[in-house]
Structure 1
Amino acid sequence: MRRDAAANRERLIIAAETVFAEHGPDATLDDVARAAGVGPATLYRRFANKDALVHEVLSGFFRRLVDAAEAAAAGPPDLGLETFLRTVGVELALKSGLSAPVWGELAPRPLVEHLRGLSTELLAGAQRVGAVGPQITPDDVTAAIWALRGVIQSERLDPRHRGAQLWRRHLETILRGFGADGSAVVEHTV
């Protein structure tokens, strides 16, 4: 690929990430081309359709989350899960339009599953050293991420909460509930 063609492709991917992060699936390829400062024909020469561009953008986003999980796993096990959840919160707050459920089948399933596996390993490491209670399951970690995504989405939609970063307070509540003593966890029996 020629240098200018490679530069255009990279500029399109960066612009697409910004546009899709803000507008999700409602964003058009014309929106992306405009944000990249290129004509639609240039975009179509690089990407056959919106799905191809979305796949490229989401793969990059989830690869960065995988890298963050791997970096967290390389650190102290008592902080790994917390570090990972904080990173996910920041990424979702900045780019909520890139979360997997927003895109359905276009989300890069192998990367999403790999990320779930890594978060399960982070949970196991935190439990081994007593930083997280034994009652916490991988499904609890997944639900925590869903909850963060929901709080972030509500912040985006409700002008009263814009910029309040309520997701950070919510994450603190989740992390207290994950604590080793389990004092914030209420067991329900039927």
Structure 2
Amino acid sequence: MRRDAADNRTRLVNAAEAVFAERGPSATLDDVAKAAGVGPATLYRRFANKDALVHEVLSGFFSRLVDVATTAASGPPETGLETFLRTVGVELAQKSGLSAPVWGELAPRHIVDDLRRLSTELLVGAQRAGAVRADVTPDDVAAAVWALRGVIHSERNDPAHHGAELWRRHLETILRGFGNGATGASRPAV
């Protein structure tokens, strides 16, 4: 691929991520082309349709979350799950339009499954370290992420709460519920 073509592709993917993160599925390819500073024909030369571009963007987004989980797993097991959930919260707050349920079948299932496997490993590590109660399940962790996504969505759609970051308070409640009472996962909210 020529350098200018590669630069256009990178610019399109970056612009698409920003546009889809903000507007979700309602964003159009024209919106993306405009944000990238290229014409629609340039976009269509790189991506046959919106689905192809969405898949590329979501693959990058979820791959970064896998990297976050992998990094969290390399740290102390008692804080790995908490670190992961806090980072996911930040990512979803900044890019709520990229969450998997918004896109349905376009979400890269194999990467999402990898993310779930890694979050389960983080949970097991935190449980072995005594930081998380033994009765917390991988489904509880998934439900925590769904809940964060819901709080973030309601914040974005309610001007009175916009910027209040209620999701952070909600995450603190979740972490206290997961905690055994003796670790960082059980710290009171500040």
* Structure 1 and Structure 2 fold alike (TM over 0.5): yes
Unaligned runs of 5+ in 2: 183-190
CA distance in 1, matches of 2:121, 2:160: 38
Structure 2 residue 123 is the aligned partner of structure 1 residue 123: yes
Could you give the per-residue CA deviations for residues 14-66 of structure 1, whole angstroms, max 9, x where no partner exists?
00000000010000000000000000000000000000000000000000000
How far off is 1:103 after superposition?
0.1
CA distance in 2, matches of 1:141, 1:43: 38
* Aligned residue identity for 2:158: D
How far off is 1:125 after superposition?
0.1
| Runs of 4+ in structure 1 over 2 Å off | none
Q: Which residue of 2 aligns with 1:167?
A: 167
Q: TM-score, normalised by structure 2?
A: 0.95
* Aligned residue identity for 2:2: R
Q: CA RMSD in A?
A: 0.9
SS at 2:170 equivalent: helix
How far off is 1:135 after superposition?
1.0
How far off is 1:181 after superposition?
4.6
How far off is 1:6 after superposition?
0.2
Could you give the per-residue CA deviations for residues 52-103 of structure 1, whole angstroms, max 9, x where no partner exists?
0000000000000000000000000000000000000000000000000000
Unaligned runs of 5+ in 1: 183-190
* Aligned residue identity for 1:105: E
SS at 1:133 equivalent: coil
How many pairs were matched up?
Answer: 182
Q: TM-score, normalised by structure 1?
A: 0.95
1:96-135 paired onto structure 2 within 5 Å: 96-135=96-135
CA distance in 1, matches of 2:25, 2:162: 21
CA distance in 1, matches of 2:38, 2:179: 50
CA distance in 2, matches of 1:68, 1:129: 20
